[in-house]
Amino acid sequence: MKMNGAQMVLSCLEAEGVDVVFGYPGGAVLTLYDEIYKKGLRHILARHEQGAAHAADGYARASGKTGVVIATSGPGATNLVTGIANAYMDSIPLVAITGQVARPGIGTDAFQEADITGITLPITKHNYLITELQELPRIFKEAFHIAGTGRKGPVLIDLPKDLQAEEGEFVYPERVEMPTYRPVYEGHMGQVSKAATAIRKAKKPLIYSGGGVVSSGAHAELLEFSQYARIPVTTTLTGLGSIPCQYEYYLGMPGMHGTYAANHAISNADLIIAVGARFDDRVTGRLDTFAVNAQVIHIDIDPAEIGKNVIVAIPIVGDVKMVLRELLKKLKPGDTAAWCKQVLSWKKDRPLRYQQMPDAPLKPQFVINELYRLTAGDAIITTDVGQHQMWAAQYYHLERPRTFITSGGLGTMGFGFPAAIGAQVAFPGRTVICIAGDGSFQMNSQELATAACYNLPVKVAIINNQYLGMVRQWQEFFYGSRYSQSCLAGSPDFVKLAEAYGVVGLRARTVDEVPEVIKAALQTAGPVVMDFSVDPQENVLPMVAPNTSIVEMIGGDTP
């Protein structure tokens, strides 16, 4: 079939099952956008390319599909960089399509030219500059294959403007032929057997679960593994939801803002089974004090992660869902009764806690607890980055995977709201709540127009403390309370800002107003912004100071 390059792109997307794309047009992609118009492909017009990238990311995290984002050349492409880096750090499948100047102009500093493949080389699994039309179908097939297999991640395709108008024969490949890219899915059976033996012998084993469990869809296997072997579980920030929060042997999140039970379990365990986790510094604290009494079994699809940060006794490269299934076949439970009794006593005696007095300023934890109570935990939660992110992780109790969407590795302020838009596009009938800080929300608040124009019923809960809260907290603890440039006094009235975009705005300042505002928001058909004025001095506790052991916890660790 003969067609031009832009038509080929849409045919490739159709072949890959893509039914929605996020983007922002410009000169170098006008031919492509003309074909989108003719074809009727569903397109969500963001109000900034970064917002489009985060929306595609949120769509991917919620749905498990590969997100697609389109931008023009030059500044349009570079505005995607933060979103691409965010997806790369958290292993999210994303295909970014960027326009490029016409092929004769490449390398001449033409108008709106940027070497986007060079710029994104360190933050993509792979990227392509298409220079020959006949390469286009193969490259798209490879891009979706790379993005959605192995350790998932973003792939960028740079598409010159003149190539989009050039005509040629289109044949979409049935299969991918990439001899140098062959992810390993099945774990080595000898290593699996060694792991089963080590688990049976261990007296104090602990499961450390990460985002790879969510990505692999291995949550059912993880729960069965923990139940059968009677092993407690802790999860990373991006692993939240991979085990039900109400599960008896779930200890919460470990690390810098982790629970007493999780941090002390890691420090006292004799065996750690890491499942789809990468031993991030926010979890480990000071490495030479991390899990010093434990052997480590590390199950991960990316061999580069195994042994990168901690010494691993039993490495298993493979898809965690497949490996856990094989491990369950070989496993015989050990004697963990005394250990389970110990960790459950830590969990009971030293829970996360706060105190909300009726006439006192609002506590952020109370607001998030009310969100949880009034949604019965049945919502997709997205967050921005900062104090509110940690409070959401601590106090919104998750029971299912793909219901907590947050920027883990890159820590991107401005991620939460556009990500919520993407999640709402993926699941129009679900309740989607973005828990945001007043600082983070302002970084992509223009996406209120997107939510309004598409009538996407995203509910935004702004934890408004008039500060860059986490920055202020660090300045209080480690910089002598010198609050340099962290006060956000002068921020807009968020209710009026919402109304300016045609969105309902609500405000709560007192304890009694919080549930009423949340109920009103949930009963509103369209998007809503809720502004919760909270105590500006409240800190996220517990907290582990930088370069210290995770058992050296500031606050929140006493019975």
Is 0.95 topped by the overall pTM? yes
Q: Where does the pLDDT of residue 503 fall: very low under 50, low under 70, confident under 90, or very high at 90 and above? A: very high
Q: What is the pLDDT of residue 1?
A: 84
- Checking if the pLDDT of 559 tops 70, the result is no
- Would the CATH topology of 2-169 be identical to that of 364-541? yes
Beta bridge partners of 207: 233, 273
Unique residue bearing structure tokens 């792979």: 126
- Checking if the pLDDT of 5 tops 70, the result is yes
337-349 vs 260-268: helix crossing angle, rounded to 10 = 150
Average pLDDT over every residue of 419-447? 98
Q: How many CB atoms lie within 10 A of CB 303?
A: 14
Note the maximum CA span of the chain: 72
The model's pLDDT over 294-343, given as tens digits with 9 standing for 90+, comes to 999 999 999 999 999 999 999 999 999 999 999 999 999 999 999 999 99
User: According to CATH, what is the number of the domain 2-169?
Assistant: 3.40.50.970
User: According to CATH, what is the number of the domain 364-541?
Assistant: 3.40.50.970
Domain 189-349 CATH assignment equals 3.40.50.1220: yes
Residues of the chain with pLDDT > 70, as a percent, come to 99
How is 414-465 classified by DSSP, letter by letter? Answer: T-HHHHHHHHHHH-TTS-EEEEEEHHHHTTSGGGHHHHHHTT---EEEEEE-
What are the residue boundaries of the structural domains of the chain, listed by start?
2-169, 189-349, 364-541
How far, in Å, CA of 179 to CA of 176, rounded?
9
The model's pLDDT over 118-164, given as tens digits with 9 standing for 90+, comes to 999 999 999 999 999 999 999 999 999 999 999 999 999 999 999 99
Return the active site residues.
Answer: 49, 111-112, 161, 470
The torsion angles phi and psi of 536, rounded to 5 degrees, stand at -70, -15
